Amino acid sequence: MSTLLSPFTLTALILFHVVRVEYILLLSFVAGLGQAFGGPAYQALIPSLVEKTDLPNAIALNSIQFNLSRIFGSLLAGAALAAFGTAICFGLNGLSFIVVIFALLALSVKHIRPAEHKPMLQEMRGGFTYMRSEPTLMALTVLACLTTFLGLPLLTLLPVFARDIFHGDIGLYSRMMAFSGAGSVVGALIVAWLGRFKHMGMTLLVMGVIFGVLLVGFSTSRVLWVSEVLLFLAGGSVMMLTAMTSSLVQLIVPDHLRGRVVSIYMVAFRGGMPLGSLAAGYVASLTSVPIVLAGNGTLVSLMAIYFLTRSHGVREL
């Protein structure tokens, strides 16, 4: 509900001309708090809807809707902003969550209650204990966190490339985002087509190396069409990397611990991007955006090479 109320509240603030930075930060916090509860529940729900062997396909297809929203959402938002203004734009965003709520209410999922109810702190302790006992699961969580921390600031820094490197406007930025989103959709389709296959862990680590190289290439490119191709390839490789990582986590975790372990994984996965963007923005203010992105890309490749050469169980999956 917090993700539903936040855009409506922002709509009201804009209509009554009482927008302040403090209010926006508070609404962002409330929306993030809702996602902190909803994200793990959403991910834990997927195995209840499909067979375990189809999990990689389902997770990849689920990723497609997110990336399609990045493409069409930005286009629709731009059109709504130009035609109706900021307030209506946020109001339409709020209305879109009503459709999501009705879709979730339409699901019929059989809930099996646990044999015994334990206190929340004890349940959390059980999840952390299980993760510490599974080096492969810990390695996948660290890999996901570092990938989002180092790799996804690309999207945060993209407006700077559009404005300062290629001297474009919001139209160019939207087009570059579309290339990245289209690549992500293609990458998700590839993972959905492959499903669960042999050497999945080795493949995701190789994709990590490739993604890092593409980041370095994008940071050094000064030719627009080359940069757009690199964005497309980077979007595809990072989507394959994250979708396969999430699939392997879901396949490893036992059903009775799924909610707790997936919650820990999602904190690492989702927390990496805002923290990475904050760190990248600060370092970029001291150096430059291309240098930061090139450094991040190098670290992503080195991280993947480390897991390839030093077995932590991932490459054997």
Which is nearest to 45 in space by CA: 106, 103, 107, 2? 107
- Taking 50 as the pLDDT cut, the residues of the chain under it are none
- In this prediction, residue 3 carries a pLDDT of 64
- In this prediction, residue 152 carries a pLDDT of 84
- In this prediction, residue 229 carries a pLDDT of 92
- In this prediction, residue 210 carries a pLDDT of 92
- In this prediction, residue 1 carries a pLDDT of 58
- In this prediction, residue 65 carries a pLDDT of 66
- In this prediction, residue 15 carries a pLDDT of 81
State how far the Cα of 86 lies from the Cα of 88, in Å rounded to an integer: 6
Could you report the per-residue pLDDT of 258-302, keeping only the tens digit for each? 677 777 777 787 778 878 888 888 888 888 888 988 999 999 999
Summary mean pLDDT of the chain: 78
Structure tokens at 65: 């809707």
238 touches 143 (CB < 8 A): no
Alpha helices in 16-54 (DSSP H): 21-49
- In this prediction, residue 71 carries a pLDDT of 60
- In this prediction, residue 52 carries a pLDDT of 65
Which whole-number Å values give the CA distances from 290 to 154, 160, 264, 295, 305, in the listed order?
10, 10, 32, 9, 23
- In this prediction, residue 139 carries a pLDDT of 84
- What pTM, to 2 d.p., does this model score? 0.76
Helix/strand/coil (H/E/C) assignment for every residue in 149-203: HHHCHHHHHHHHHHHHHCCCCHHHHHHHHHHHHHHHHHHHHHHHHHCCCCCHHHH
Q: Which domains does the chain have, with CATH numbers?
A: 55-82+122-309 (1.20.1250.20)
State how far the Cα of 294 lies from the Cα of 219, in Å rounded to an integer: 6
Residue 8, C-beta contacts closer than 8 angstroms, at least 6 positions apart: 90, 91, 94
Structure tokens at 54: 């189809």
- In this prediction, residue 72 carries a pLDDT of 65
Which is nearest to 228 in space by CA: 162, 301, 147, 295? 162
